[in-house]
Structure 1
Amino acid sequence: MVKKVALMTTGGTIASKETAQGLLESGAMTGTELASLCKLPDEIEIKVVDVLQVPSMHIHFQSMLLLRQAILDELKDPLICGIVVTHGTDTLEETSYFLDLTIHDHRPIVVTGSQRSPQQIGTDVFSNLRNSIFTAVDERLHDVGVVVVFNERIYSAKYVKKVHASNLQGFESFGYGYLGIIDNENVSIYQKPVTRECYSLSKGIPKVEIIKCYTGADGTFIDAAVACGAKGIIIEGVGRGQVSPFMMDSIKKALEKGVVMIVTTSAEEGKVYPAYSYVGSAFDLLKQGVILGEDYDSKKARIKLAVLLASQDHINQELFT
Structure 2
Amino acid sequence: MMKKVTLITTGGTIASKDIGGGLLSSGALSGEQLAALCKLPDDIEIKIVDLIQVPSMFMDFEKMSVLREAVLNELNDESVSGIVITHGTDSLEETAYFLDVTIDNKKPVIVTGSQRSPEDEGTDVYSNLRNSIYAAAAEILKDVGTVAVFNERIYSAKYVKKVHASNLQGFHSFGYGYLGIIDNGVVNIYQKPVNHECYPLEHPLPRVDIIKCYTGADGFLIEAAVQASAKGIVLEGAGRGQAAPKMVDAIQAALDKGITVVMTTSAEEGHVHPSYSYVGSGHDLMSRGVILGGDFDSKKARIKLAVLLSNFEEVIQDLF
TM-score (norm. length: structure 2): 0.99
Amino acid at match of 2:259: V
Supply the distance in 1 between the matched residues of 2:316 and 2:18 (Cα, whole angstroms). Answer: 48
> Which deviates more, 306-315 or 247-256?
306-315
Alignment of 1:125-204 (within 5 A): 125-204=125-204
Q: CA deviation at 1:183?
A: 1.1
Supply the distance in 1 between the matched residues of 2:196 and 2:25 (Cα, whole angstroms). Answer: 37
- Residue matched to 2:282: 282
Alignment of 1:48-197 (within 5 A): 48-197=48-197
Supply the distance in 2 between the matched residues of 1:84 and 1:42 (Cα, whole angstroms). Answer: 16
Supply the distance in 1 between the matched residues of 2:119 and 2:36 (Cα, whole angstroms). Answer: 14
Q: How many residues align?
A: 320
> Which deviates more, 79-88 or 201-210?
201-210
Residue identity (%): 67
Uncovered stretches (5+) of structure 2, i.e. residues with no partner: none
TM-score (norm. length: structure 1): 0.98
Runs (4+) off by over 3 Å: none
Contact 2:41 / 2:130 at 8 angstroms: preserved in 1? no
Supply the distance in 2 between the matched residues of 1:20 and 1:242 (Cα, whole angstroms). Answer: 46
Uncovered stretches (5+) of structure 1, i.e. residues with no partner: none
Amino acid at match of 2:238: V
Q: CA deviation at 1:35?
A: 1.6
Confirm or deny that 1:222 pairs with 2:222: yes
Amino acid at match of 1:113: G
SS at match of 2:311: coil
Contact 2:160 / 2:172 at 8 angstroms: preserved in 1? yes
Amino acid at match of 2:124: D
Q: CA deviation at 1:92?
A: 0.3
Q: CA deviation at 1:317?
A: 1.3
SS at match of 2:283: helix
Contact 2:237 / 2:264 at 8 angstroms: preserved in 1? yes
> Which deviates more, 267-276 or 20-29?
20-29
Q: CA deviation at 1:38?
A: 2.5
Contact 1:35 / 1:46 at 8 angstroms: preserved in 2? no
Q: Deviations over 1:249-298 (max 9, x none)?
A: 00000000000000000000011000111111000010000000110000
- Residue matched to 1:36: 36
Q: CA deviation at 1:157?
A: 0.1
SS at match of 1:19: strand
